[in-house]
Amino acid sequence: MNKDFLVSPLSVLLFVIFALLAPLTAMADASASAEALKQKDYARARQECQAEAQAGDKDCQSTLGYLYRNGLGVTKDHAEAVRWLRKAVEQGQTAAEEMLGDSYRQGLDVGKDYAEALKLFNSSASKGSAWANNNLGNLYRYGQGVGRDAKEAIRYYKLSAEKGNPAGQTNLADMYRLGEGTERNPDQAFQLALKASKQNWPAGHNMLGLLFRDGMGVRQDTQQAIELFKLAIEGKTVPIAYANLAGIYYNGIGVPVSLDEAAKWAQGGVQLNEPNALTTMSAVYRRGTKQNPANKERAFELASKAAAMSHPAALNQLGFYYRDGIGTELDYRKATDLLQQAMALGSADAIVNLAFMYEKGLGVTKDETRAKLEYERALLSPALTRGTRSLAEASLASLKPLAAPVPATRAKSDASGPGADDDREVSRKELLERLEKMQQQLTSLQAASNTSTLTTAVAAKQIVFANRKALVIGNDLYSDVPKLNNAGADADAMAKALETVGYKVTKHLNLNEKKFKQALREFRMQLQGGDEVLFFYAGHGIQLGNSNYLLPIDIKGDHEDQVKDEAILMQKVLDDLEDKKAKFALAVIDACRDNPFKGKGRAIGGRGLAPTTAATGQMIMFSAGSGQQALDKLGDTDRDKNGLFTRVFVKEMLTPGVSVDRVLRNVRNEVVRQAKSVGHEQTPALYDQAIGEFYFRQ
């Protein structure tokens, strides 16, 4: 026998030892790689994993795919990332399935293949991957390879967020912020974005910045928003953060308008081909500054680039350029087509621009009636930008009101020629404006006649602040819908508490339609810029579509259109406060009761009120969340004459030294606690865009 083929006992022993140690060595290498990843030492992670990945270790193959995919410790190389990820996927590695699926979803060095992405995400999610759940949410949200389904997207985002995944938390926050597939919930959006931001997730920083910028779920704080957007930019994965920063300076949100500062940040997004940044930079070039001289051709080029991505704001902007011949030749047909595309994608600004074409007869038959209706429709949208809103309001004011029909009892000889009815309508409008100005002057004179900004209410021995005004309304005695028991008492309690903290209170009980509208009109005439204003309403309310209506006691509600005509549009009340430029305005609405029309079989509206949006300087609080019912009593033994929400509100409001925003959050927490004690869910909804610190009682 050839000795070369003899195997000694020692050799066998060494072979066995090596075989046993090899897996342990691989595990040590994998563990070392994981530790390096944790410490963000990506070069060492690659070094530790290279040999084991070559030897077939699926976890190290997945690690190398991750490093090459993101350019961590190596030059970014999607082809190399896909090569390693495919090797790991062949062995069923969970993280690799999710990453390769995302490569197919985005088309990163592989053709876009949503079906393959869906298969890989489902496999990874079935093994517990929170990232895969998040990506499944993306597929359903954007209709990629599956039918667009916002509710299904939310389900997957929730699965991801519940596992602490920052991407899932951020995407779910965005759904709550926008009310996409669910009711708007600013507080929930804020909590989720905060969790993602605390994990240093760049998109989480950006989402939290949006909420601070808009005062959703948190007090508006522009400086905090700016810092968060800058953090998102440092992550180099959220191009829209450049556009969000640019927008703050372009629109002057909490800072002075600065087109040059806007351009500085927009340029970063332009380099990354971000459509919002392209649109903002286009607007800067259209207007021109010292550092960025007007360049209408460049403005047109950037808008065209963003519009090619089906970006609604860019489509609107490009339509505006074609309409006015900015950087291109006039082309009304193209303008109309682009504006209609933008409208279809949700641009309220496009409605205004198209309305202007009908008002002036630009490329379409002149139709002032249609223009007026379109302006009014656009002004109802909270998405309308500030500058375009001003344009719509000015244009609407310039259009003549539709002539009132001639009463049947009036003889034709009463008319003094063509346009006489219009003249009477204009005269009536001018008279109302004069009366309003006279009322304002009278109020100013009364305030100036005081020895200070305070007036003493001698009878009540209370101090009333001249710039603090409140309108309080309580409706109980409904004639055609169920009566209420607490609204009047709630209004009495609120009025008394407001007088205690220095408000001049106007209180009304059981108002019919005519008196309700008169009360609002008279209160509006009392207001001046810089006032601190509070509006409180207790009674029936209803949601119709996305709008909320407050119901006078003589409401009949035979059909939806009748309700819209006879009820009080809550947004109109809020708009009046904004128009008067109140320094601070708080609307407190205790109308979240059961549907007042359901008892008669009328399919009008539903329970509760729809989420709303506060304008800058406003806070809005509903006594319960959307779809919830506000409690009047805490059980049969409860003898308090006030509803749960109002009794808590009055108590918290009278606590000295607590800011208004903290008072409202204390109210919400206490209402939730007491409602839960009797097995009921009631979470007052808060919408906050107030700027500065305000107190009921210092």
pLDDT tens digits, residue range 115-143? 999 999 999 999 999 999 999 999 999 89
- The residue among 543, 544, 612, 539 whose CA lies nearest residue 575 is 612
**What is the biggest distance separating any 2 CA atoms in the chain, rounded to whole angstroms?**
137
Residues 433 and 524 in one domain: no
pLDDT by residue (tens digit) across 241-258? 999 999 999 988 889 999
pLDDT by residue (tens digit) across 384-394? 887 788 888 88
Domain count for the chain: 2
In a domain, 255, yes or no: no
CA distance 101 to 183: 30
Section 627-641 average pLDDT? 86
Average pLDDT, the chain: 83
Residues 643 and 544 in one domain: yes
CA distance 304 to 318: 6
Q: Which of 466, 490, 525 is the last residue of a domain?
A: 466
Question: For 598-697, where are the alpha helices, taking DSSP H only?
Answer: 644-653, 660-676
Question: Which structural domain range is residue 436 located in?
Answer: 428-466
Lowest mean pLDDT among 77-81, 356-360, 396-400, 486-490: 396-400
Q: Which of 444, 466, 488 is the last residue of a domain?
A: 466
In a domain, 12, yes or no: no
pLDDT value for 25 = 39
Axis crossing angle, helix 312-324 with helix 332-344, rounded to the nearest 10? 160
Residues 574 and 460 in one domain: no
Lowest mean pLDDT among 10-19, 33-42, 345-354, 525-534: 10-19
Q: Which neighbouring-strand residues pair with 537?
A: 473, 589
In a domain, 438, yes or no: yes
Lowest mean pLDDT among 50-54, 403-407, 462-466, 516-520: 403-407
Residues 454 and 478 in one domain: no
Structure tokens at 378: 């656009």
Structure tokens at 89: 């996927």
In a domain, 660, yes or no: yes
Residues 462 and 473 in one domain: no
Residues 471 and 452 in one domain: no
Query: Is there a contact between 242 and 272 (Cβ–Cβ < 8 Å)?
Result: yes
pTM assigned to the model: 0.55
In a domain, 446, yes or no: yes
pLDDT value for 383 = 77
In a domain, 34, yes or no: no
Between 86 and 454, the more confident residue is: 86
* 416 band by pLDDT with thresholds 50, 70 and 90: very low
Cβ-based burial of 13 (10 A; exposed 0-12, middle 13-18, buried ≥19): exposed
pLDDT at 399 over 90: no
Residues 613 and 489 in one domain: yes
pLDDT at 366 over 80: yes
Lowest mean pLDDT among 50-59, 349-358, 427-436, 685-694: 427-436
Between 74 and 607, the more confident residue is: 74
pLDDT by residue (tens digit) across 25-64? 334 445 777 787 888 888 888 888 989 999 999 999 999 9
Residues 554 and 680 in one domain: yes
In a domain, 70, yes or no: no
Strand 454-457 and strand 462-465: pairing? Answer: antiparallel
Task: Compute the Cα dihedral for 195, 198, 203, 207 and give only its sign.
Answer: positive
Q: What is the CATH number of the domain that holds 595?
A: 3.40.50.1460
In a domain, 163, yes or no: no
pLDDT by residue (tens digit) across 256-276? 999 999 999 999 999 999 999
Q: Which of 438, 466, 494 is the last residue of a domain?
A: 466
Residues 571 and 676 in one domain: yes
Residues 518 and 441 in one domain: no
pLDDT at 20 over 50: no
Q: How many CA atoms lie within 13 A of 428 on its CB side?
A: 10
pLDDT value for 215 = 87
Section 625-651 average pLDDT? 89
pLDDT by residue (tens digit) across 552-599? 999 987 778 888 888 999 999 988 888 888 888 999 999 876 667 765
Structure tokens at 240: 């829209």
Q: DSSP assignment of 477-515, as one string? A: --SSS---SSHHHHHHHHHHHHHHTT-EEEEEES--HHH
pLDDT value for 112 = 87
pLDDT value for 233 = 93
Strand 584-590 and strand 618-622: pairing? Answer: parallel
Residues 682 and 565 in one domain: yes
pLDDT value for 451 = 31
Residues 551 and 678 in one domain: yes
